[in-house]
Amino acid sequence: MGISGIGWLIDFGVFTVLGLFGIPSWICNIISSLCGVTFVFFVSTRKTFEVSLKRLTLKQKYLVYVLFEIMVILVASRFVGLLDTTFKGLDIGLLQKFSAIAAKICVTPFTMFINFIFMKILTEKI
């Protein structure tokens, strides 16, 4: 879980910095998530999972992983954007001010769980 945590810190850090430049939250999420998942893939295949090269090479697995992650990131980014808009509409001061960050935090547990399961299947079973 430590590797995923570091990946999330990379993701969250890039997301926050991009948000400071006024970039829409869903775009920040796409860019930051790609940074985080790339880090997690390469470190996890060396440290966490036992890599099986039965069918696909590591490069092929990375391509499959990135394609899967693009789908997950696009769906998650949509939810981040929707939650960001929803939180901005609430009459709760701090939640309005940090709506994008709150939205990212709400979506993160779901994406981390999905990513872990897919990574385990991809690296150990395929």
Does residue 1 carry a pLDDT above 90?
Answer: no
The two counts, helices (H) then strands (E), for the chain are: 5, 0
Query: In this structure, what DSSP letter does residue 22 have?
Result: T
What local confidence, expressed as pLDDT, does residue 58 receive? 74
Domain range annotation of the chain: 2-124
Q: Is residue 120 scored above 70 in pLDDT?
A: yes
pLDDT digits (tens, 9 = 90+) for 14-60: 999 999 999 998 899 899 989 998 898 888 776 655 555 567 777 78
> Which pLDDT score is estimated for 121?
83
Q: Could you tell me if 119 and 69 are in contact, meaning their C-beta atoms sit under 8 angstroms apart?
A: no
What distance in Å separates the CA atoms of residue 124 and residue 37, rounded to the nearest whole number?
18
CA angle 82, 39, 29 (to 5 degrees): 15
Alpha helices in 21-57, H assignment, sequence order: 25-47
- Give the pLDDT of residue 2: 79
Sort 25 into a burial class: Cβ within 10 Å, 0-12 / 13-18 / 19+. buried
pLDDT per residue as tens digits for the range 74-119:
999 899 999 999 999 988 888 888 898 999 999 989 988 898 888 7
